[in-house]
Amino acid sequence: MILIAVIATTLSLAGAVDTWSVPANQMPASLPAPGLTYVLGPDDLVSVEVAELADAFTSKSYRIDADGTVSLPYTGRIRAGGLTLAQFEAVVTERLRSQVLEPHVTATIAESHSQPVSVMGAVNTPGVYQLQGGRRLLDVLSLAGGLKPESSDYLTLSRRADMGAIPVAGAHPDPDGHTSSVNIRVNELFDSGATGVNVTLRPYDTILVPRAEMVYVVGDVQKAGSFPLSQSNSMSALEAVSLAQGFTPSAAPQKARVLREIPGQPNRKQQIPVDLRKLLAGRAPDVQLQANDVLYVPNSRATQKGAELVLRTISGFIIWHGI
C-alpha cells in the first residue's frame, strides 16, 4: 500500500507591420530613418501634444484606424500606419506648418495593439504580447514568464511570409507557403554569446514551446517522477535510474520492468522485464526507453501478487491521465 501511495503522488504530473504608402505631399523632405523603433499600426493609441496648440489637442490620445490613418486637430486625417514615432512626429509637424511657424510635436505610444506576437505551449504565461520597439526572442519569452520545467529542449519560431525571412540557419518555408519556421535549441538560445538565434521578432510571429516527451521512473528509487527526453527522444534505462538518484536499500532492481504502449492499443501496456542489476554490472546491454515508458523498480519484499497489483495501479493511472 505504501508503494501505491508513493506512485500516485509522484506521478502527478526589425521589421514593420503591414505598411501603407505615405502620400508625397504628407512626407517631409528630411524624414528620419526608420531604425529599430516602434512602428505604428491599426488600433494603436498614440498620444500627441503640440506645445503651441495645447488647447486644440485636448484629448491628447488618438486611435489609428484600420486603414492606417488617424484624425488630428488642424491636420485632419493623416497617415500614421507604417511610420515610426519619429517619422509620425515629422509628418504632423510638416502638416501643422500652415498653422504654426515652428510647431513642437511630441508623440508617444499610449496603447500598443498592432504588433502582436503569440507565445504558446510550455511557458508559464502563454498569450499574445505586443512588440514595443525591437524586442528579441528572449525578451518575449521573459514576458511570458519563462519556460516550464517540462518544456522541450527546443522551440519553434514561425513567421508570416510577408514579414520577411527568419535570419536563422535552418529556417524553411512551410508547406502552405504563407509562413516560414525554424527550430531553435533552448540551450543555444540561452547561451549569452549566441546572439545569432536571439532574433528580433516581427509582428504576428508565433513562438511554440512544446512539452517534452517524458519517461517515468516509479517504485523503490530515491526520486520517483517524470524526466524529459532530449530532442532525439532517447534515454537509456541506466540514465533514467541515474536521474531518479538510484535505488532505495529495499529495491529489487533485478525484477524491474518497463511498461510500454502497445501500438494501436492505447489502453493497454506491455511489460518488458529489465534486470537493472545486470545492466549496472555491465553484463547486459542497456535498454533504450521510449516516450511515455514507465520504468518500475519493485520492492524486494513485495510478493508477485503485490507487484502485479502495483503495476495494474500504474497502468490504470497512466491510461486515466492520458499519458
Domains of the chain, residue spans: 24-111, 116-209, 213-321
Residues 71-120 have pLDDT tens digits of 999 999 999 998 988 999 999 999 999 888 889 999 988 888 888 999 99
The pLDDT value given to residue 291 = 86
Dist. CA 173–CA 158, nearest whole Å: 9
The pLDDT value given to residue 226 = 86
The pLDDT value given to residue 236 = 92
| Topology match between the domains 116-209 and 213-321 | yes
Residue 198's nearest CA partner among 248, 138, 143, 260 is: 138
Query: Which residues in the chain come in under a pLDDT of 50?
Result: 1-36, 317, 319-323
Dist. CA 18–CA 44, nearest whole Å: 13
The pLDDT value given to residue 17 = 35
The pLDDT value given to residue 48 = 92
- 81: burial class by Cβ within 10 Å (0-12, 13-18, 19+)? buried
- How many CB atoms lie under 10 A from the CB of residue 282? 8
Q: State the pairing for strand pair 45-50/61-63.
A: antiparallel
DSSP H helix total and E strand total for the chain: 7, 18
The pLDDT value given to residue 5 = 40
DSSP conformation letters of 179-244: EEEEEEEHHHHHSTT-TTTSPBP-TT-EEEEPBPPEEEEEESBSS-EEEE--TT--EEHHHHHHHT
Report the CATH fold assignment for 116-209. Answer: Outer membrane lipoprotein wza fold like (3.10.560)
What lies within 8 Å, CB to CB, of 228 at 6+ separation is 150, 151, 152, 153, 212, 213, 214
CATH superfamily of 24-111: wza like domain (3.30.1950.10)
In CATH, the architecture of 213-321 is Roll (3.10)
- Bridge partners of 151, per DSSP, are 211
- Bridge partners of 228, per DSSP, are 214
- How many CB atoms lie under 10 A from the CB of residue 167? 11
pTM above 0.85, yes or no: no
The pLDDT value given to residue 307 = 54
